Amino acid sequence: MTENIKDKVVVITGASSGLGESTARLLAQNGAKLILAARRLDRLQALAHELGLGDDATVKVDVTDRKQVEVLIAHAVKVHGRVDVLLNNAGLMPSSMLESLHIDEWDRMIDVNIKGVLYGIAAALPLMKRQMSGHIINVSSVAGHKVGPGGAVYAATKHAVRVISEGLRQEVKPYNIRTTIISPGAVATNLIDTITDPAIAANMKKTYEKAIPADSFARVVAFAMSQPEDVDINEVLFRPTSQAY
């Protein structure tokens, strides 16, 4: 499961905690060259130090700022000369009922979950086309396949990630670029901490009572990355065995 990972240059957004942090740990163990990005630079630097990465392995990035994402990819190229994998992992889930009109939260989800992914693609794609190789991994969700009360906007953003990724898959065939969508169910991260609506938060905590560890996601990333170059794992949907939703 961890073949073809050693020495690959991997850029991870949202790497300071949760899915991104867990993935960074696993890929570092298998010899990947990592560039870690998030807004919380102190956490990134602590993680990089723990993993034995260099001082140039972290970049403070807000994925809603296109210029910052461009700087991130340029930094990876400056340090390592190329980008083999981009993991667009940064995301938010402040779910609420539409009637609550948490419009600022809707805007933030759209900016991070959709625009952040698009900005990552925009920054990495020209480089990968020149390389005639690369792998873009976008993070959707079970909510990218179905919607429930209180999850309309979040689900819409994650459906959008799947649509964007599928369009990208079809467009990049001439450039030997691979694309993967990963749709997790209840995985133990701090994602539910972004929910400000008390009733929705309480219901979501019940769903997450049997959440599986974040390293389950990391193993899926490693599985997709480790395939031979002529194998393109396009989509993985996974949940806790006990999760009905």
pLDDT computed for residue 1 by the predictor:
59
pLDDT tens for each residue of 164-195? 999 999 999 999 999 999 999 999 998 888 89
Element holding 87 (H helix, E strand) = strand 85-88
Q: Which residues of the chain, if any, have pLDDT below 50?
A: none
Domains defined for the chain, CATH in brackets: 9-238 (3.40.50.720)
Q: Which of 154, 175, 208, 245 is catalytic?
A: 154
pLDDT in tens, 136-173: 999 999 999 999 999 999 999 999 999 999 999 999 99
Look up 154 and say whether it is catalytic: yes
78-90 tens-digit pLDDT: 999 999 999 999 9
Quote the tokens at residue 26: 């696993």
Picking from 51, 50, 58, 45, the residue whose alpha carbon sits closest to that of residue 12 is: 58
In the 3-class helix/strand/coil scheme, how is 109-149 assigned residue by residue? HHHHHHHHHHHHHHHHHHHHHHHCCEEEEEECCHHHCCCCC
Q: At what angle do helices 66-80 and 116-131 cross, to 10 degrees?
A: 30
Specify the pTM.
0.96
